[in-house]
Chain A
Amino acid sequence: MTDRIADIHGPRTPHAKGTVWPARIDQYLDPGVEETDVERWVQSACLLCSNGCGMDIAVRDGRMVGVRGRATDVVNHGRLGPKGLYGSTRWAHAGDRLTRPLVREDGRLVETDWETAMGRIVATSRALLEEKGPLSHGFYTSGQLFLEEYYTLAVIGKAGLGTPHMDGNTRLCTATSAAAFKESFGADGQPGSYTDIEHCDAIFLYGHNMPETQTVLWARILDRTRGEDPPRIVCVDPRRTLVALEAERTGGVHLAPRVGTNLALMNGLTRELFANGWVDDDWVAAHTLGVDDLRSTVEEWAPDKVAEVCGVDADDVRRAARIFGESTDVLSTVLQGFYQSHQATAASVAVHNLHLLRGMIGRPGAGILQMNGQPTAQNNRECGADGDLPGFRNWDNPAHVHQLADAWDVDTMTIPHWAPPTHAMQIFSYAEAGSIGLLWISATNPAVSMPESARIRRILGGDQCFVVVQDLFLTETAELADVVLPAAGWGEKTGCFTNVNRTVHLSEKAVDPPGEARSDLDIFLMYADAMGFTNRSGQPLIGWRTPEEAFDAWAAVTAGRPVDYTGLSYDRLRGPTGIPWPVNAEHPDGTDRLYADGVFPTDTDYCETFGHDLATGGTVTETEHRAMNPAGRAFLKGAAYTPAHEEPSEDFPLLYTTGRTVYHFHTRTKTGRSEDLNRAAPDAWVELSAGDAAERGIEEGDWVRVASPRGAIEVRARVGNVMEGAVFAPFHYGHWEPPADLGGGHPDAEHRLANELTMTVWDPVSKQPVFKTAACQVTRVRAGDGPAPAPTTTASAPDTDRPASRRRPPRPTEGGAPTTTTVPDRTPDYPLDPARSSEGSR
């Protein structure tokens, strides 16, 4: 029996380089439920991070009562993380589920029936279309709906209404990943595979606290670093995370650049490759464009200058570059430390540049994983609910728009393609001004998750825009809506989703949703029916009623595109494992990694974008792109470092950065309703370095006020492992609390929202908001009566180098309900796994 709150990553199964990652099956059942009580196991995959672990849902008496990892799945080989185990099912029977639609009457939300609620939406929608046209409509979705739902909404928005104002909270999470791929390789699509972990000599994690964001993937890495012939780890993070400790343990490097200086560091690492002759000139000449410009862009970034700007040791820069330059196979992973920080796209593209300069792409062990934060973010990007055109099509290419117009049987002019799609921050600005008069929000909680919360609350709560919210619970956002629609969640509906490394899973319906809650697909179809959207032939625009029919329609429009689903069907996905796209006649069993042939989707007629100026976001024209004749070569693109938008000042001398803890997902809508997870991280906190704390007379557990020019929070302080000059706050905590007997009732619920302090500013190319650079000040308010409520098992642990506070010793994070972990006698056979044919040969 394993306590997976205390033991986040579970027991090790170490193995040698080049061998298959052993299977290990993790299982959790609700207290009092025995395995023999389970009536059915229903096939699915985990929805509580982007890793996409295959799992089965245990069902008894019409309730989801637990989960089990699927040993045969290529993603997780049976493992699950603490969120997947403890958080997957328990929200489903929480007492405060939305079970009936709500409408606002005299300022209050009151229960009503579906006809009334949808009637109000349709009346508003029709009136706005009449008065202002389709640009009055905006849709803001999620990274947690299913592919079928995104695609259906995309068709409604683009071909039914004709609005360019569609985006998802994926803008806050993975927009930079997609943007970086498009800039370097011509189209979105993860080049690497998780199987690269088994073959690499070094792993670079850029702004990626993987032990907390993707625990099962980190377990996969630990099974290498603790086995024979381990890879070295290089960690780029301002906090001394578990990644940093592993870097120290494996002879790698921990680089802690000053918040906001990622690009300066990347330019320095790139320069070292040139300066030391670690560039594969022949490969670069054959497969890339732009090497001369890149060389001159990074020329000034000698290690000493990097040290000065980033506050790192010049020798550490040299050592990290040497590890990259002298390893045969490097795997790089990137996440929010880059995506949500200053110069996000340029810094993420720089990771590609390093790989391209060494020709390290497209073979086992030499890979890139630009991560996602959410389980279905990839589908939002693919299907176009984020504004992009479905199938990685280029809005600036008339032939691509024609393909969609033909598929949907609508006029080309209906499909918005006159400019880049409207990004989330701009959608909210239009809603603020009232030029978007109907904003429909599905499965996300922007009142907590978007920057500068006070502004977002004002926009959602004002009269200038009619707000529809579709969710499982009455979130901080739903409280401000004009209509609230009760949605069915994961396990209560069927659909597919695709993880970070392109692996598609089918998630089957296990139980009925509560009360009158409906699936998001059914809600969108209900709206389409009521609006009477038709195609040119006069037939209903949406020609499908079931998830499976929606999937087949989606697969059909992917034909001939990089994201090819034509070889996939529900039947295929009911097999032992998820399958990575492209899946088509050429690759009937799927594709483990892209670009094995060194040919990239950059051809002018094929690419998803003609590209952008990384400094301004200005778009490259078709003519300019054609003149470069990329013809399958990747772009090496550089940019000059510029200081962050808000630098520390006398009044705000510290740098504020936000992030996650392992025990929660997003705004805790699900994880806060799992007692085990909630107890592990029950309330907000802020992390300070020992030096900054001492200077302010702050001790572990003291109540402190953290203020930026935009707002303030009052929470308890953890004297921890953040670098000097920086302050870390977890972004999960809005004012919602579970009932007191389930761990709620904290006095700071009204003043702990990390985004009160963040800025309204975004990356010029990916349009991802910057959550990780703001100036702040911390002052002591009063003494606490115990340690901070921060976990001790993670990067939030008390200062590793100093003895724990004697007066307020931190409570060890532990006490999760028992789970089981079994290692099967035989490791299953994983299709496409490169280690399976070379077992023992390396």
Chain B
Amino acid sequence: MPHLTTYVGLADHSERTLAESFRSVADGHAHVADVFHTCRMLAEWSEANRAALAPIVERYGEADVEEPERLHAAGLARTRDGEVGLLRDLQDLHVLASLVQTTWTVVGQGAQGLRDKELLAVAEHANEQTSRQLTWLNTRMKSAAPQALIVAP
């Protein structure tokens, strides 16, 4: 199961990147009240997924095989300005959350194969939470898009 270990590590790492990116967007668009508060809450959801995974990471240990090339995605270190900038930042978050979700899907499949009930439960719950993050991002982009694309200065 060497590569499952790699993917458990990827889940942990990509959730961390997503959490940090949610916080960056919250701070970068702090004057947009719902974005500020929701992104901070969604960052905590990612942290909670990591906390649930922590004992399993411990159990699986470090991967002893070489990681695939370009395994990790970079987070959003800097946010953009304005309404179009917000839209673009939300798109970036959506890309990162999609990576998180497919990672959990893959990890869940591995857990099925291994009959690791603990990991399966963590992966399934995390997958649901990521769906909720993606749903919010999609909803928020849809409502922001017309004004940002057509009217914003």
Interface residues of A (CB under 8 A from B): 132-133, 135-136, 164, 418-420, 422, 425-426, 429-430, 433-436, 613, 615-620, 642, 645, 759-762, 764
Contact = CB atoms under 8 A, between A and B. Distances in A.
B146 A618 contact: no
A616 B130 CA distance: 12
B68 interface: no
A132 B132 contact: no
Minimum-distance CB pairs A-B, first 3: A618-B135, A618-B136, A616-B136
20 contacts: A135-B147, A135-B150, A136-B151, A420-B143, A426-B143, A429-B32, A430-B151, A433-B83, A433-B153, A435-B83, A435-B151, A435-B153, A615-B132, A616-B38, A618-B132, A618-B135, A760-B33, A761-B33, A761-B34, A762-B33
B110 to A, nearest CB: 26
B83 to A, nearest CB: 7
A433 B142 CA distance: 19
B60 to A, nearest CB: 28
B146 A613 contact: no
A617 B143 CA distance: 12
A39 B150 CA distance: 58
B150 A617 contact: no
A618 B143 CA distance: 11
How would you classify the secondary structure of chain A's contact residues: helix, strand, loop or mixed?
loop
Given A135-B150, A761-B33, A419 B132 contact: no
A704 to B, nearest CB: 28
Given A422-B143, A764-B34, A619 B151 contact: no
Nearest to B143: A419
A613 B45 CA distance: 14
Given A616-B41, A761-B37, A418 B152 contact: no
Given A761-B33, A764-B38, A616 B132 contact: yes
B139 A618 contact: yes
A418 B135 contact: no
B37 A132 contact: no
Given A616-B42, A645-B37, A435 B152 contact: yes
B91 interface: no
Interface in B29-65: 32-34, 37-38, 41-42
Nearest to B141: A419
Contacts of B42: 616
B102 interface: no
A136 B27 CA distance: 28
Contacts of A616: 38, 41-42, 132-133, 135-136, 139
Contacts of B32: 429
Contacts of B146: 135, 164, 418-419
Contacts of B139: 420, 616-619
A132 B151 contact: yes
Contacts of A764: 34, 38
Contacts of A429: 32
Interface of B: 32-34, 37-38, 41-42, 83, 132-133, 135-136, 138-139, 142-143, 145-147, 150-153
Nearest to A437: B151
B114 to A, nearest CB: 26
Contacts of B153: 433-435
Q: Which among A420, A425, A764 has the greatest number of chain B C-beta atoms within 10 A?
A: A764
A419 B152 contact: no
Given A616-B136, A617-B139, A761-B37, 16 more contacts: A132-B150, A133-B151, A135-B147, A418-B146, A419-B142, A433-B153, A435-B151, A435-B153, A613-B132, A616-B135, A617-B136, A618-B139, A620-B135, A759-B33, A762-B33, A764-B38
Nearest to A128: B151
Nearest to A135: B151
B136 A613 contact: yes
Contacts of B33: 425, 759-762
A419 B142 CA distance: 6
Nearest to A769: B33
B101 to A, nearest CB: 14
A617 B41 CA distance: 12
A136 to B, nearest CB: 6
A133 B150 contact: yes
A617 B139 CA distance: 8
Nearest to A645: B37
A419 B139 CA distance: 8
Contacts of A426: 143
A408 B133 CA distance: 38
A219 B124 CA distance: 53
Contact of A642 (B41, B138, B151): B41
Given A135-B147, A136-B151, A435-B153, A619 B135 contact: yes
A433 B34 CA distance: 16
Nearest to A435: B151
Contacts of A619: 135, 139
Nearest to B36: A761
B33 to A, nearest CB: 5
Contacts of A430: 147, 151
Contacts of B152: 433, 435
Given A762-B33, A764-B38, A613 B135 contact: yes
A453 to B, nearest CB: 16
A551 to B, nearest CB: 32
Nearest to B145: A419
Contacts of A761: 33-34, 37
A759 B153 CA distance: 26
A429 B133 CA distance: 24
A418 B149 CA distance: 14
Q: Which among B38, B132, B143, B153 has the greatest number of chain A C-beta atoms within 10 A?
A: B143
Contacts of A136: 151
Nearest to A464: B153
A420 B132 CA distance: 18
Nearest to A760: B33
A645 B34 CA distance: 11
B142 A418 contact: yes
A233 B41 CA distance: 36
A437 to B, nearest CB: 9
A394 to B, nearest CB: 15
Contacts of B41: 615-616, 642
A133 B142 CA distance: 18
A759 B30 CA distance: 13
A764 B153 CA distance: 26
Nearest to A642: B41
Contacts of B132: 613, 615-616, 618
A743 to B, nearest CB: 37
Q: Which among B38, B133, B146, B151 has the greatest number of chain A C-beta atoms within 10 A?
A: B151
Contacts of B38: 616-617, 764
A63 B135 CA distance: 57
Nearest to A420: B143
B93 to A, nearest CB: 13
A616 B34 CA distance: 9
A420 B135 CA distance: 14
